[in-house]
Amino acid sequence: MLTWEDALLGFMAHLKLEKSLSDNSVQAYRRDLFKLQQWALGNEIFQPTRIDKKQLQDFSAHIADTGVKATTQARVLSGVRAFFRYLALDDQIEQSPADFLVFPKTGRTLPAVLSPDEIDAMIGSFDRSTFEGERNVAMFETIYSCGLRVSELVNLGLTQIHRNEGYIQVIGKGNKERLVPISERALKHIFLFVEHYRNGITVESKHRNTVFLSAKGRGLSRQMVFFLMRKSAMAAGISKTISPHTFRHSFATHLIEAGADLRAVQEMLGHESITTTEIYTHLDRGYLAKTLESFHPRSK
């Protein structure tokens, strides 16, 4: 008899070993599927292999009744569908009962975007005469120059920076590697920090290759980067809700607004699907009008 606990442990191992998902992503799936497990046990469904389409529809209605956002409902149901597809792949069930689940319409929320002046103001809020200040300038220049995820930023290694060639090797989701060009300005600040500050501290052995460290030689957490960005936004007088992803959004938006090819931006961001990148095409009407006027045959 396959219990919920055994099935979920197998699914977590599948996500980590077969799908190469990060620990954070695996735990996010676990938290969402715990909702299904608790609901099922409360309805005396003690084996995941016994659940059917009607019961999953009831669970979907239960999630909606809790009042969570449509995006949260969609995320939970996406995890449920992945779980039952895993059971089918593992020959625990013949067919997934979750394939016909109806997902709530979530729409697309446009991410906050910073202007180049706002980014300059945030970077200019740091005192570059200090270890932390020069490091923060280098980090912010790097994440904006390359459109990195915060996890990619804090895990960036010295050996991943190819200064003469002008690019960095980025290890993204699923341990997939991509090459991203990096600006001269970002490179300048990285090596100012490394040569003037980083090389003068004692570094923990596991972080010898890590670029951005604390003054105690330890790696930085994602939460610390969040904190530093919000602090610098306040210092710059910016009222928008800022996160490291805001810099990534701004990187992509500024490129597309300047006429960059969407496929090139997709490659630099490390998106598997072009549809994910398309969210950054929320360009202003003036830019769209100019594009139409310049390129459409009827506008000649």
| Catalytic residue check, 144 | no
| Catalytic residue check, 173 | yes
Domain of 134, CATH number, reads: 1.10.443.10
* Residue 177, helix vs strand vs coil: strand
Query: Is residue 64 within a helix (H) or strand (E), and if so which, with residue range?
Result: helix 53-65
Which residue range forms the structural domain that includes residue 13? 4-89
Do 77 and 195 lie in a common domain? no
Dump pLDDT digits (tens) for 206-262.
999 999 999 999 999 999 999 999 999 999 999 988 888 899 989 988 888 777 777
Do 155 and 235 lie in a common domain? yes
Domain boundary among 71, 89, 107: 89
Tell me, rounded to whole angstroms, the distance of Cα 174 from its chain centroid.
12
Do 181 and 126 lie in a common domain? yes
Do 135 and 191 lie in a common domain? yes
Do 72 and 126 lie in a common domain? no
Structure tokens at 178: 């991509």
How far apart are the two ends of the chain, measured CA to CA in Å?
70
Please state the domain count of the chain.
Answer: 2
Burial of 83 (0-12, 13-18, 19+ CB in 10 A): buried
Active-site hit among 149, 189, 198, 249: 149
pTM above 0.85, yes or no: no
Active-site hit among 19, 35, 53, 173: 173
Mean pLDDT rounded to a whole number for the chain: 87
Active-site hit among 14, 248, 249, 254: 248
On the question of pLDDT at 289 being above 60, the answer is: no
| Catalytic residue check, 86 | no
**108 within some domain:** no
**150 within some domain:** yes
| Catalytic residue check, 300 | no
Q: What angle do CA 288, 293, 294 make, to 5 degrees?
A: 100
| Catalytic residue check, 248 | yes
| Catalytic residue check, 287 | no
